[in-house]
């Protein structure tokens, strides 16, 4: 393991890793690189995994919580604490979304179909990013960096006033932080979106 993992190898920190977009960045394996690298270097870790985006099951709250422990005794302690926290927070989660994921992952044909669809979605988001990046500098707003970034969300450097103006004058909604969902854009609305950005930031 390279020196960049030394701080973790000392065992003085407990890595808590949140993986919520696997397959929507650079690819299933590629997106797990950092996680695998850290898990290869540490004796203990916690991993929160979400299937909400990569399975398109956002409102079904599907995911997993993994505990990496030094030995079986410590794992049992961590598990019983995890179970108590789960009981206090949500008690019994619904199984419908989880059951759909189970069905897909236990069938090699369905798994291959799902991975194809994920690849298609990732490629589509790449196209959207390239179209946004091609618009370049729009007044005070530079969209070019979006082309070099990955994933489902992007931050636009817009002021609160500009975000409000987009909403009220152009019917375009985004988080108050300027965060947009790349997957919400497509060939049918991206020109309108870029024109609206020109109207508020140009
Ligand atoms: C980085 C990150 N982690 C976790 C979550 C939440 O995952 P879940 O939808 O499974 O609660 C989100 C967003 O929805 C996220 O952006």
* pLDDT tens per residue across span 74-118: 999 999 999 999 999 989 888 999 999 999 999 999 999 999 999
Put simply, whether the predicted model's pTM sits higher than 0.85 gets the answer yes
The alpha carbon of 49 and the centre of ligand 1 are apart by a number of angstroms equal to: 9
pLDDT band at 12 (very low <50, low <70, confident <90, very high): confident
Domains for the chain: give ranges and CATH numbers.
3-105 (3.40.640.10), 116-201 (3.90.1150.10)
The alpha carbon of 160 and the centre of ligand 1 are apart by a number of angstroms equal to: 24
Q: Distance of CA 166 to CAs 42, 43, 115, 160, 186, Å?
A: 46, 49, 35, 10, 18
The alpha carbon of 89 and the centre of ligand 1 are apart by a number of angstroms equal to: 17
**For ligand 1, atom 16: residue with the closest CA:** 20
Nearest one of 161, 149, 194 to 25, comparing CA atoms = 149
């Amino acid at each position: 393991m390279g020196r960049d993992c030394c701080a973790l190898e000392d065992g003085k920190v407990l890595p808590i890793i949140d993986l919520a977009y696997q397959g929507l960045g650079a690819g299933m394996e590629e997106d797990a690189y950092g996680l695998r690298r850290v898990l290869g270097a540490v004796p203990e870790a916690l991993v929160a995994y979400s299937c909400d985006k990569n399975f398109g099951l956002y409102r079904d709250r599907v995911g997993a919580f993994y505990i990496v422990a030094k030995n079986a005794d410590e794992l049992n302690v961590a598990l019983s604490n995890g179970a108590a926290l789960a009981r206090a927070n949500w008690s019994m989660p619904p199984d419908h979304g989880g059951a759909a994921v189970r069905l897909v992952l236990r069938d090699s044909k369905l798994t291959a179909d799902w991975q194809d669809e994920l690849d298609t979605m990732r490629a589509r988001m790449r196209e959207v990013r390239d179209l946004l990046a091609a618009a370049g500098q729009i007044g005070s707003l530079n969209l070019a960096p979006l082309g070099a970034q990955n994933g489902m969300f992007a931050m636009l450097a817009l002021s609160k006033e500009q975000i409000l103006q987009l909403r009220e004058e152009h019917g375009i909604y985004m988080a108050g932080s300027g965060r947009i969902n790349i997957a919400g854009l497509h060939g049918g609305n991206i020109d309108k979106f870029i024109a609206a950005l020109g109207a508020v930031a140009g």
